Structure 1
Amino acid sequence: MAILLIQSTVDASDEAPSPVDHGEVLLVCNCFCEVNATSLQLLFCPPWRITSPTSTATRLTPTSDFAILPRPLYKFVGCESADTWHNANETCAKDGAYLAVPHSMSEVYMLLGMLIFHPHPGSNCSVFIGLHENGGEFRTVLGKPMPAVIMNLWDKRDVPKENHCLSLNREGRIEAESCEAGHAYACQVQSD
């Protein structure tokens, strides 16, 4: 399973990005990258880019799935491991996290970037986010009201008849669909 672990806020570091060679793609990270034999775990600060593999890779030993930093972190599970909303939520909970709930456009862009560029560019897969219908209204997995950024990206005419969960598609739109659909997902942890 390929996993991206993403840091969502810009770090004020003056250091040059470290390249990480993962197969045929070179990912240039502005903050921190980790690679092991079975997965790519990547922490980065925007802006970021993907380039061709022309230089020696920097390989670091992973310490954990989620790094302890004072900002939200995301663990992205790609389209090749797509799952239902409920299974994705349970998987996140096992890691001490929850399905990602974007509260700003920068967080939406972070999720969208993960979806578009990893691991299967061009796939039609969407990414489940941590909102579902509960008692006739959409609430976050933490029981809170829907963030305003979600309301602005959601075409509410696109609501299925039952079992509603929200996902972010490749066009940057929020869609309501069956929780039983299979999609990529992102777990979020807020470190103290």
Structure 2
Amino acid sequence: MPTLLHLDSSADLVSSRSRRLSQAVVDAWLNADPSGVVVRRDLHRTPVPHLADSSLHWAPADRVPGSNPPAAAEALQRALLDELLAADIVVIGAPLYNFSIPSSLKAWIDHIHVPGVTSADTGALAGRPVVITTSRGIAYDIGSPTEGWDHEVPALRTLFGSALGMDVHVITTSLTLAAQDPSLSSQIGRSEQELDEALTLATETGMRLALATA
């Protein structure tokens, strides 16, 4: 039976759009294939600690001689790696925080990006789909003053696509602050439309990937 690893990193447990979108992907995937198994990891509710030792960036065989990371930290990393490697598809809710990746998600990434274990040259994750659902408070349109300020999605594409060799799908919704920030009030309509379109794409993506992994 296929397995989906579902991660969320938003600190908003009530109205997060990245969480709503990631759940839409998962729901559609399960509806299309009820035999699927979902492994859930909420990186905000149960944070992964920062790496306890720099040697954990490397596979045991590639560590500097004499490296001795804490046994508990090494066991956690092994568990996170096994969880990822066992998944047929990965879905990640990743809101844009301060133009970059939430620290809760970054801590997880630091544990699972291990050359010689998950790097693209090993083929361990080659072609495996990863869906990133990202929400952004404002707009980052081409030609606008904020073009290029989103340093999250490009980094995640590089990491999961180039470094790990996975098949990356990104679903984005912007202007999540339109209803809160008076300066963005004229963009409420666009904000709601983008969310609707992103939810539709999330459902379509979940269904499509269920057929591919069945």
TM value normalised by structure 2 = 0.27
Higher helix share: 2
TM value normalised by structure 1 = 0.29
Higher strand share: 1
Structure scoring higher RCO (CA < 8 A, sep ≥ 6) equals 2
